[in-house]
C-alpha cells in the first residue's frame, strides 16, 4: 500500500500513514521483525514524507495501532533514508541496523507497551525533542523496520498495523 499523506493547511506539518497486513505466521520472539510476508517482506516506506528530495525533517509525534485486542508488546521502528539491507521478513530475527546501513540510519522510535482500545491495540510517542532526519539525495522517502521488543503469542494472520508519523519539514527561509 502506498503511503497516505495529510497536509495541515497553513503549516509545514504533515501526517504520513503507512499500513501493512502482518503475516503473523507464528508466535513472535523478542527482536523479531513485523512485516507483510515471511519470505519477501519489505521495509515500511513513508513515501513523500517531505516535499523535496534530500530534505531535512523532524518527527514530532508517532502513533501505532494493530487491529487486535490484548496485544500489548513494546515495539521499535528503526528508520533509514534508504531501503535497509537487513532482514525485512516477518517473524525472523532482526539484524537492523547493520554495518552496511550505518551511514543511512536515522534513529528509532521506541513505542511503549500498547493499550487495548476496544478493537485495536494502540501506542503513541510525543517527542519533547523531535527526531531529526535527513533524506537521501534524490529521494523523498523514509524507510523503516518494525521490531518487537517483547515476545507475544496472540497474533493473528493479516492483522492490520498502521503507523502514523507527524512530521515538520525543515524549510530554509
Q: Which helix (H) or strand (E) holds 76?
A: strand 75-80
Q: What is the pLDDT of residue 73?
A: 83
Domains: count for the chain: 1
- Please provide the distance, in angstroms rounded to a whole number, between the alpha carbons at the two ends of the chain: 34
Count Cβ atoms below 10 Å from residue 11 Cβ, excluding itself. 9
Residue pLDDT tens, the chain, 173 long: 567 777 776 678 899 999 999 998 889 999 999 999 999 999 999 999 998 999 999 999 999 999 887 777 899 999 999 999 999 999 999 999 999 999 999 999 999 999 887 888 999 999 999 999 999 999 999 999 999 998 888 888 899 999 999 999 986 64
CATH number at residue 84: 2.60.120
Count Cβ atoms below 10 Å from residue 112 Cβ, excluding itself. 14
Sign for the CA dihedral angle at 86, 88, 89, 93 comes to positive
Q: What is the pLDDT of residue 1?
A: 54
**Helices vs. strands in the chain: H and E counts, helices first:** 0, 11
Q: What residues make up the domain containing 103?
A: 4-170
* Beta carbons of 28 and 85 less than 8 angstroms apart: no
Q: How buried is residue 160: exposed, middle or buried, by Cβ count under 10 Å (0-12/13-18/19+)? A: middle
Q: What is the pLDDT of residue 2?
A: 62
Amino acid at each position: 500500500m502506498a503511503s497516505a499523506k495529510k497536509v495541515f493547511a497553513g503549516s509545514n506539518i504533515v501526517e504520513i500513514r503507512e499500513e501493512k497486513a502482518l503475516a503473523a505466521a507464528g508466535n513472535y520472539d523478542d527482536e523479531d521483525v513485523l512485516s507483510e510476508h515471511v519470505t519477501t517482506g519489505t521495509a515500511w516506506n513513508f513515501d513523500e514524507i517531505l516535499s523535496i528530495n534530500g530534505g531535512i525533517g523532524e518527527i514530532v509525534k508517532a502513533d501505532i495501532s494493530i487491529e487486535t485486542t490484548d496485544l500489548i508488546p513494546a515495539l521499535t521502528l528503526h528508520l533509514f533514508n534508504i531501503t535497509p539491507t537487513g532482514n525485512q521478513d516477518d517473524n525472523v530475527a532482526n539484524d537492523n541496523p547493520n554495518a552496511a546501513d550505518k551511514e543511512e540510519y536515522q534513529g528509532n522510535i521506541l513505542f511503549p507497551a500498547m493499550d487495548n482500545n476496544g478493537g485495536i491495540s494502540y501506542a503513541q510517542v510525543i517527542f519533547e525533542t523531535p527526531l531529526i532526519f535527513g533524506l537521501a539525495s534524490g529521494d523523498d522517502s523514509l524507510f523503516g523496520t518494525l521490531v518487537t521488543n517483547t515476545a507475544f503469542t496472540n497474533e493473528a494472520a493479516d492483522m492490520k498495523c498502521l503507523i502514523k508519523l507527524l512530521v515538520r519539514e525543515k524549510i530554509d527561509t
